[in-house]
Amino acid sequence: MAWSLSACTGGTTTSQAPGGGTAPAAPDAHASNKTHVPPGKHDDYYGFWSGGQSGEVRILGVPSMRELKRIPVFNRDSATGWGQTDFSKALLKGRTMGDTHHVHLSYTDGTYDGRYAYVNDKATARLARIRLETMETDKIVDIPNSQGTHGIFPQRHKTGLVLCNSEFRTPMPNDGRDMDDPKKYAAMHTAIDGETMEVKWQCMVDGNLDLCATDYTGDYSFACCYNSEGGVTLEEMMGADQDWVWCFNLKAIQAAVDAGKTMTVGTSKAPVVDARGGDNEFVVRVPVPKSPHGVNISPDGKYAVMCGKLSPTVTVVEISRLADVFAGKIKVADAVVAQPEVGLGPLHTAFDGRGNAYTSIFLDSVMTKWNIDKAIRAYKGEQVDPIVAKLDVHYQVGHTNASMSETKEADGKWLVALCKFSKDRFLPVGLLHPENDQLIDISDDKLDLIHDGPTAPEPHDAVIVRKDLIKTIKVQDRKDDRFKMYEEWAAKDGVKLMDDNKVIRDGKKVRVYMISQAPKFGLTEVRVKSGDEVQFIVTNRDSVEDLAHGLCVTQHDVNFLINPQDTQSATFTAGEPGVYWYYCTWFCHAMHLEMRGRLIVEA
């Protein structure tokens, strides 16, 4: 079979107009009612969207698809000062960009526990954590011996490990050895403790690791390998008709770690279990055609669904059979219980909790709804068609997800199709068009496309979370760990953060402790010398919900947000002699414009 792999030329969508152009699909008359959330009313779901090349995470309301917030993670953010405050700089270690693909929330007993969100950085092999009560990034960890950290997934039985895949194979360690010998390259499946954010162990394999999923019991994790060939060029990577999906035996790996049957690689102290050459006690390879991409677990915990990408099929594994595979009682291929044909270019699968799966089909630009049970019966030879419905989406859909689909509480109300191209769907805005995140009603038998959602590039993935599972706080909790750093500085300088306005000179270092309370800063004049290293440590005494202030020091590239009851700080070098106004950047009061003071820089 031959077809075009390019995003913009192929496709069999019914909305394809003759002559290669595209005609917009007919608008659905009742669509607007379903997605409409009236003024002042809330959405039913939080959507957590990764921000792709922006390095951030975004929160949308579902079904309105209104963007509610952008959470800076790996990027520098002018509004909040992320990437500029002392706290965020310590997390980012001088990096200014990231590439977030997969955001997943922490679990307890198979559903979201409302504590954390985790997100990968493919650009620099990092995992970040966001505290959901504040929606702020609180930890970032470097993943050793890894490049292209792509798929991540937290364990679902409790807040346990977060498994992270390195998509790119490299020499091990990557210190200049074996550079021209790709056969010796390897990849790491890394386990990070979701509470402490420490690397617990790494499991080394010789093929690549793409998307990731965990089961519901804590026994297994899965990783797609599209490059079983170990190729370094496109042609080499596409060579084989069959690749595989790795299934990691987490208990066997933990036992090896506990028994000290590990090594270390490079300068990292993390214990490494060597599972190269699998199948072995640590990992088995489920054969999957061809260059598989997504792997998703059904909400009942029974099945892993693996998408073929260059094969029109998805491969379904019955997870309970894996124990017999690891025990050597059955062959790994015997864990496969279905392989329905769903369309050209299947990438990811969502579930409705009613036994149906929804697979995104990139090349065809469709969503395919299919029934898992019927697919299993068809695989056994029964004459049933597992395909329930297909819906054109616009265009070239990547990820898909449904409301609560990644939990045991999948409720089958909403489905999003995260389309990589919008082509003609919106007003043209220059060379790069927005992506198109389409919202689909799946509450009854048909698939009902009801909303086009333009998004800034490129949210790869999203999860849709019932709103009652998320509880945010209104003012900062001063008992939080994050405040220890400031409290220690203040104690050394004999300063009370909530009460004092004080300038401490320490050689060429000047620490400015200052309070903000609408509409005033605690100091209206600060004197320093040109070339001093100046640190502003600002505590917002206001404890009114949403009463934030910002501190911008003009001409000094400094601006950061201070939320109610928060302390934030930033450090900079005082410039040429002169008067530099500092001012509040968040509209906090009728006298907001007057909320300013002078930084007087003396020669």
Q: Which is nearer to ligand RUQ, 81 or 151 (CB)?
A: 151
CB 506 within 8 A of CB 484: no
Count interface residues toward ligand CUA (CB under 6 A): 10
Measured distance CA(169)–CA(181) in Å, rounded: 11
Q: For ligand CUA, which stretch binds (CB under 6 A), given 116-124, 372-380, 457-465, 581-589?
A: 581-589
HSE of 276, CA atoms in CB hemisphere, 13 A: 15
Pick from 204, 224, 402, 588: which binds ligand CUA (CB under 6 A)? 588
Q: d(Cα 92, Cα 72) in Å, to the nearest integer?
A: 11
Smallest separation (angstroms) from ligand RUQ to the CB of 461: 5
Point out which span in 64-72, 163-171, 296-304, 588-596 binds ligand CUA (CB under 6 A).
588-596
Minimum Å gap between C-beta 586 and ligand CUA is 5
Among the listed ranges 219-227, 337-345, 432-440, 582-590, the one in contact with ligand CUA (CB under 6 A) is 582-590
Choice from 160, 289, 398, 459 touching ligand RUQ (CB under 6 A): 398
Residue 202 or residue 563: which is nearer to ligand CUA going by CB?
A: 563
Given candidates 169, 390, 399, 466, which one binds ligand RUQ under the rule CB under 6 A? 399
In sequence order, the β-bridge partners of residue 61 are 46
Binding of residue 553 to ligand CUA (CB under 6 A):
no
CA–CA separation, 135 and 56 (whole Å) = 12
Distances in Å between the Cα of 486 and the Cα atoms of 52, 85, 203, 322, 564 are 32, 12, 38, 50, 16
Q: Which residues of 53-77 are buried (b: 16+ CB within 10 A; e: fewer)?
A: bbbbbbbbbbbbbeeeebbbbbbbb
- Nearest distance from C-beta of residue 295 to ligand RUQ, angstroms: 11
Asked if residue 592 binds ligand CUA (CB under 6 A), the reply is yes
Long-range contacts of the stretch 136-142 (C-beta < 8 A, 24+): 136/71, 137/71, 137/72, 137/73, 137/82, 137/88, 137/91, 138/482, 139/91, 139/197, 140/73, 140/74, 140/91, 140/92, 141/192, 141/197, 141/198, 141/199, 142/93
Residue 102 contact partner, candidates ligand RUQ, ligand CUA, none, CB within 5 to 8 A by sort of partner:
ligand RUQ
Instruction: Decide which of ligand CUA, ligand RUQ, none touches 592; Cβ closer than 5 to 8 Å per partner kind.
Output: ligand CUA
Report the distance separating Cα 117 and Cα 101, nearest Å.
Answer: 13
- Cα 402 from Cα 418, distance rounded (Å): 11
Give the whole-angstrom CA distance, residue 112 versus residue 403: 12
Residue whose CB is less far from ligand RUQ, 103 or 284: 103
Q: State the binding string over 64-103 for ligand RUQ (x if CB under 6 A, else -).
A: -------------------------------------xx-
Per CB under 6 A, which of residues 348..377 are in contact with ligand RUQ? 348
- Of 163, 272, 347, 558, the residue at the interface with ligand RUQ (CB under 6 A) is 347
Residues 497-526 interacting with ligand CUA (rule: CB under 6 A): 518-519
**Interaction pattern, residues 278-297, with ligand RUQ; x per rule: CB under 6 A:** ---------------xx---
| Binding at 309: pick from ligand RUQ, ligand CUA, none (beta carbon under 5-8 Å per type) | none
Closest CA to 189 of 153, 160, 156: 153
At its nearest, how many Å lie between ligand CUA and the CB of residue 344? 55
596 binds ligand CUA (CB under 6 A): no
101-160 positions binding ligand CUA, by CB under 6 A:
none
Q: How far is the CB of 591 from ligand CUA (least distance, A)?
A: 8
C-alpha to C-alpha distances, 236 to 22, 188, 228, 242, nearest whole angstrom: 34, 21, 10, 13
| Amino acid at residue number 275 | A
For the beta carbon of residue 357, count every other beta carbon within 10 angstroms.
26
Which residues ranging from 209 to 228 are in contact with ligand RUQ (CB under 6 A)?
Answer: 211
Site for ligand RUQ contains 461 (CB under 6 A):
yes
SS (H, E, C) 263-330: ECCCCCCCCEEECCCCCCCCEEEEEEECCCCCEEECCCCCEEEEECCCCCEEEEEEHHHHHHHHCCCC
With contacts defined by CB under 6 A, name the span among 164-172, 413-421, 553-561, 583-591 that binds ligand CUA. Answer: 583-591
- First and final C-alpha spacing in the chain: 75
**H helices, E strands: number in the chain:** 7, 40
Number of residues that bind ligand RUQ (CB under 6 A): 12
Residue 150 binds ligand RUQ, judged by CB under 6 A? yes
Chain residues that interact with ligand RUQ, rule: CB under 6 A? 101-102, 150, 211, 293-294, 347-348, 398-399, 460-461
Chain residues that interact with ligand CUA, rule: CB under 6 A? 518-519, 549, 584, 586-589, 592, 595
